[in-house]
Structure 1
Amino acid sequence: MSRLASATAATAHQKQWFRSIQERVAAGEPLALVNADAPQEVLKAMDIPYVVNQWWASVVSAKRQADASLQVLRDRGFPDHSRQYDAISLGSTSLPPETAPWGGLPEPSIVIAETSGDAARKVFDLWAERPGVDFFPFERSSAVTAPARWWELVPHRWEEAYGSERLDLMVAEIEELVSFLEERTGRTLDVGRLRRVMDLVNEQAEWNRRTRDLLAATRPTPVAVNDTIPGVMVPQWHRGTEWAVDAARRLYEEVAELASSGAALCPDERVRLMWIGRGLWFDLDLYRRFQESHGAVFVWSMYLAIAADGYPRHGDDPVRALAARFAGFTDQLYTPPWSGEWYVKEARAHGVDGVVHLVADDVPASSFTTRALEDAGIPVLEIRADNADPRASDPDALTAAITGFIDGRLS
């Protein structure tokens, strides 16, 4: 089966967009490097060019330049075995022009990230030591309560889901970020423009929900996970634009057409698998490696699912609604019982037979996720690797482990 046209178009758009970013920075505009867990919608509303740190790390890894980027850090006396997903972009700026992916990342003047731990904070402190680079850190707050079925609350009842104190903190920090950006760029935030950005993000999330629900209900699956990942994630990095909404709609329409026509990624589908964790950027072929040998298909990744459940936020106050989008983002993916209940819900909806759980060193509470799934009667294979660092895992060993899991527990 050929690759999804919507995924191919999204990737082509991303390359064209990145060239435009390089041109804008070369012409003197500021560039922000922003972590995925920071409110990019503010930058979109202020028309400040930005690149998402994890997206760029995934490009570097997919282009087989992760080790070279980490070597830069080693040569400077920094550790290369911690927070690689955060640190690869830092090292990549020193790659030779002839090997740097897509012509290389322009030098940012602003970096924005949530300080999720000492090591992550130090990565961004190193950015701030570079001439002309300023760092804005967000705090990470903790949940006091865990509402049942949070995915039903957060679109409209987010105050109830997260609590006013957490939202108050995030609102105050967003307001500080706006002042920080206005001072450094000379641009101002139009609240009406931010409201429009939020409306577009909600519309995009609705298309993603339709796609996720359709794939959950379709047997056999019509598409590959390593196609839906770029198909949903490239538009995610352009949230708040008409293009991103249209891209999400095109993905849904293409999947719907394939499903209605009876298309099957693996006509002999016998085993449905769920991949929990970040994408394995240096070995995306892994997701299709077991189709012929075992009739085993990965039908779920967190990217489409969290785009459906984790992003919609409706409300009259766009700043507070934006705070609600990010105040509890980590809870949804990694904090028990928020995360475990959600993964079980998704596993059951997609009818998976087993779960492959990528456990990274910097991901908290992974054992609770595994326990929640196993307690629900869903077998789990834990594999330990860094998703962006190819040194951290042996492709043959990964293949052997998943093969043994299918043969030993799912057959």
Structure 2
Amino acid sequence: MSARLNSASAATTYQREWFASLRREVADGAPLALVNADAPQEIFRTMGIPYVVNQWWSSVVTAKRRAQDYLGLLRARGLPDDSEQYSSIPLASVFDPDPANAPWGGLPRPSIVLAETTGDTSRKVFDIWDDQPGVSFYPLESAAENDVPVRWWELMPRNWEQAVGSDRLDLMTGELEGLVRFLEQTTGRTFSETRFAEVMDLVNEQQEWNRRTRDLIARARPCPLPVNDSIPSVMIPQWHRGTVWARDAARAFHDEVAERVTAGAAVCPAERTRLMWIGRGLWFDLDFYRRFEDSHGAVFVWSMYLAIAADGYLRYGDDPLRALAARFAAFSDQLYTPPWSAEWYVKEARTHGVDGVVHLVSDDARGSYFTTRALEAAGIPVLELHADNVDARDAGPDILTRTVGDWLDRRVRPGG
């Protein structure tokens, strides 16, 4: 099976057209927000404020083989080029001497940046944004809770108060109220509670489709689609959460996967090894995920993008703003903080029937040791790749391919 998913192609086409439209809108005077992937974008959607996701722009720059150019712009100004690369590459756009030749025409200068301060290094990246003329940084706190819920993925859709904790929700709800006031004062646009409720409903509908798709793939034998197709099919609509287009794109993705499952389509007809990829997308080498099909019958059947869409976003309730706070107050916990993350990865590995896990561990990773330990304790072999997903200087495609191939031969399928 070689044909790309229609949903992946359609999403990519839509994103290009949207970005061109956004550039025109900003050129005509509209405000622009740059927001982190784990930030409450739904408020900007409600207020009609254009926004670009920070890490999405990093993925575009990297896929276009420009990451080293942008990291060099940081280095030339005495800024670190080997820390938080995924979050700092868009900052380098400010210093680009030739923005007209940047990928996709270049990132327009934002007037607002929004991020949760998950660590000292991340905070410093956005403090530098705040130092740029005409740019304001609105930080969100990163709170913690001593009591960790068991099987949080079952609680989150409707019992999120119990899962996240009232103190954390009080804090983030207050911060979101402050964000709304800040945006109204800064942009002159107004926040409509009616519109906000519509946005939240559309997001829930979208994630219900993602949940169905995740479950289809988990049950399917053989795997009906490549991971590097599922990533744009799910993530581009995620950046447009709260729109009818995104909801319908998630449904189209589901329907296409369902058709493939019914038809018995296979990424690798000789599939004999199912793999799980833990970590951010390997944007400098997306072909990596299909490199072991012919040599080892090995297929990556899982990435965090569809899985977290399925388990991490659904929030129902009568208080939409508090429900939005519940969506993001513990978002990093779900992916990176043990035992939240470790238990979830084990659950996903088991439901997808994986034979091994390739775990990308970046320098800024949190909780990676505990994730690996939990999976190994569950009897699932793990290979840790110590590399950065946008910076290939320390571990490029050849090194990663050879390392994974050797691990498959030694630990996952010794003797073939």
| Structure 1 counterpart of 2:374 | 372
1:99 to 79, 94, 101: 101
Give the alignment of 1:275-314 within 5 angstroms.
Answer: 275-314=277-316
Q: CA deviation at 1:308?
A: 0.3
| Structure 1 counterpart of 2:331 | 329
Q: CA deviation at 1:390?
A: 2.0
2:277–2:300 Cα contact (<8 Å) kept: yes
Count the aligned residue pairs. 411
Indicate the SS of the match to 2:393.
Answer: helix
Counterpart Cα distance in 1 of 2:121 and 2:271: 42
1:93–1:104 Cα contact (<8 Å) kept: no
Letter in 2 for 1:27: D
Q: CA deviation at 1:274?
A: 0.2
Give the alignment of 1:233-312 within 5 angstroms.
Answer: 233-312=235-314
2:93–2:99 Cα contact (<8 Å) kept: no
| Structure 2 counterpart of 1:56 | 57
Indicate the SS of the match to 1:390.
Answer: coil
Q: CA deviation at 1:101?
A: 0.5
Letter in 2 for 1:29: A
| Structure 1 counterpart of 2:226 | 224
| Structure 1 counterpart of 2:30 | 29
Say whether 1:159 aligns with 2:161. Answer: yes
Counterpart Cα distance in 2 of 1:150 and 1:405: 32
Give the alignment of 1:185-224 within 5 angstroms.
Answer: 185-224=187-226
Counterpart Cα distance in 2 of 1:67 and 1:143: 38
Query: More displaced, 96-105 or 272-281?
Result: 96-105
Letter in 1 for 2:167: E
Q: CA deviation at 1:164?
A: 0.4
| Structure 1 counterpart of 2:144 | 142
Letter in 1 for 2:76: D
| Structure 2 counterpart of 1:10 | 11
Query: More displaced, 392-401 or 80-89?
Result: 392-401
| Structure 1 counterpart of 2:116 | 114
1:262-297 Cα offsets, whole Å, 9 max, x none, are 111100001000000000000000000000001000
1:110–1:136 Cα contact (<8 Å) kept: yes
2:213–2:257 Cα contact (<8 Å) kept: yes
| Structure 1 counterpart of 2:21 | 20
Counterpart Cα distance in 1 of 2:234 and 2:134: 34
Counterpart Cα distance in 2 of 1:184 and 1:106: 18
Counterpart Cα distance in 2 of 1:151 and 1:317: 20
1:237-279 Cα offsets, whole Å, 9 max, x none, are 0000000000000000000001100111100001000000000
1:123 to 110, 122, 125: 125
Counterpart Cα distance in 2 of 1:70 and 1:231: 28
| Structure 2 counterpart of 1:172 | 174
Q: CA deviation at 1:160?
A: 0.3
Letter in 2 for 1:44: R
Query: More displaced, 386-395 or 401-410?
Result: 386-395
Q: Which runs of 4+ in 1 moved over 4 A?
A: none
Structure 1 length-normalised TM: 0.99
Counterpart Cα distance in 1 of 2:181 and 2:8: 37
Counterpart Cα distance in 1 of 2:221 and 2:322: 40
Counterpart Cα distance in 2 of 1:390 and 1:56: 17
Q: CA deviation at 1:388?
A: 1.1
Indicate the SS of the match to 2:389.
Answer: coil
Counterpart Cα distance in 1 of 2:57 and 2:184: 25
| Structure 2 counterpart of 1:181 | 183
1:82-117 Cα offsets, whole Å, 9 max, x none, are 100110001134332353100000000000001111
Q: CA deviation at 1:146?
A: 1.1
Counterpart Cα distance in 1 of 2:340 and 2:147: 10
Counterpart Cα distance in 1 of 2:64 and 2:396: 17
Q: CA deviation at 1:143?
A: 2.2
| Structure 1 counterpart of 2:83 | 82
Q: CA deviation at 1:204?
A: 0.3
Indicate the SS of the match to 1:282.
Answer: coil
Letter in 1 for 2:58: A
Counterpart Cα distance in 2 of 1:78 and 1:362: 16
1:32–1:50 Cα contact (<8 Å) kept: yes
Counterpart Cα distance in 1 of 2:394 and 2:3: 31
Letter in 2 for 1:18: F
2:112–2:135 Cα contact (<8 Å) kept: yes
Q: CA deviation at 1:394?
A: 2.1
Counterpart Cα distance in 1 of 2:101 and 2:291: 29
Indicate the SS of the match to 1:402.
Answer: helix
Q: CA deviation at 1:400?
A: 1.1
Letter in 2 for 1:73: L
1:26-70 Cα offsets, whole Å, 9 max, x none, are 000100000011100000000000000000000001001111001
Indicate the SS of the match to 1:51.
Answer: strand
Give the alignment of 1:334-345 within 5 angstroms.
Answer: 334-345=336-347
Give the alignment of 1:342-357 within 5 angstroms.
Answer: 342-357=344-359
Structure 2 length-normalised TM: 0.98
Q: CA deviation at 1:395?
A: 1.3
Structure 2 unpaired stretches of 5+: none
